[in-house]
Amino acid sequence: MAVRMVIGSTAPVTTRLASRRIAFTTPLSYAPRLSGLLELAGAEGLAVPTVVVGPTPRTLDAISPFFLPGALDPFTAIAFTSRAGISAAAAALSSLSAVALPLSDLGDPFTVAALGRDAELLHESRLLSKLCRNPGRINVLVPEIASPAGLVESLGDGIGRRVLCPVPDVVDLEEPPVVPDFIRGLEARKWVVIRVPAYETRWAGPRCVEPLLRMDGKLDAIVFTSSAEVEGFLKGLEELGWEWGRVRKLWPEMVVAAHGPVTARGVERFGIVVDVVSSKFSSFAGVLEALASRWRDDSSES
């Protein structure tokens, strides 16, 4: 029986993942990043997106008022918990006139917080320059631990200040505890939290797992990168008359990997045992390193 491990690997990913077949349930908006890493490592990636993530006209209507001229002046920070939230904010800003920006040039320092490599999108999307004409007023905060809890700790005490939190509106799925816990954590640190539904996380539909079930041959691993993906996966199985136990019987040697401990807890809430958890979760490279370490250890024991 597989032993669950929380690891960050020193094993060469390119040698341990070569010729491995690895499925992942990452949304299509994130999938190219993971599939590209798998390709570089010589693995065969199988995309089985079980949720759809992105802005909609309704969510853009919800977030756009916060980027009208001067609308951010009452705030001290924006806290992004996902890349999708940054994309949604950038899209809202692009749809508005740039004559006057949402943050005045003068005032107290303003913090824009993001997790891990998501922070790169702040620059790629030019979001920061669209917020304020004075770059010296904006402080980019990237917590050392790339998790919502790490974000709360890095923001520190709010002492009654306001923070804008662009988060997902979860549709056709149970809302995972991640965002509610994040909001409660900020409120416990005396932040005044303004939560806005910036984008949707929606089930990908009843046929979402068909690419996996149609696959012939071995499956070395399946990677979950959020707990919502797991619920979408199980719903997809149920629609086709399957259940998780049948998947395990079909591929008994398959390793179940989770992208970070928060995802792992979410996966196990649905009764799925996680074999490998990445301890480096600022990017998808961490979970692939964890898989490489698992297979290195297996080969050394045989």
CATH class of the domain whose range is 5-50+205-301: alpha beta
Distance of CA 178 to the CA centre of its chain: 11
Nearest to 12 by CA among 293, 302, 297: 293
Sorted by sequence, the CB contacts under 8 Å of residue 230 that are 6+ apart come out as 25, 50, 224, 266, 267, 270, 272
pLDDT tens, residue order, the chain (302 aa): 233 434 343 344 556 899 999 999 999 988 888 999 999 999 999 999 999 999 999 999 999 999 999 999 999 999 999 999 999 999 999 887 666 799 999 999 999 999 998 999 999 999 999 999 999 999 999 999 889 999 999 999 999 999 999 999 999 999 999 999 999 999 999 999 999 999 999 999 999 999 999 998 999 999 999 999 999 999 999 999 999 999 999 999 999 999 989 899 999 999 999 999 988 777 788 899 999 999 987 766 65
Domain ranges in the chain?
A: 5-50+205-301, 54-203
As a whole number of angstroms, the distance between CA 87 and CA 59 comes to: 12
The CATH number of domain 54-203 is 3.40.50.10090: yes
Per-residue pLDDT at 97: 63
- Fold match, 5-50+205-301 / 54-203: yes
Per-residue pLDDT at 296: 84
Per-residue pLDDT at 300: 60
Nearest to 163 by CA among 196, 197, 123: 196
Sorted by sequence, the CB contacts under 8 Å of residue 99 that are 6+ apart come out as 69
Sorted by sequence, the CB contacts under 8 Å of residue 56 that are 6+ apart come out as 199, 200
Per-residue pLDDT at 12: 46
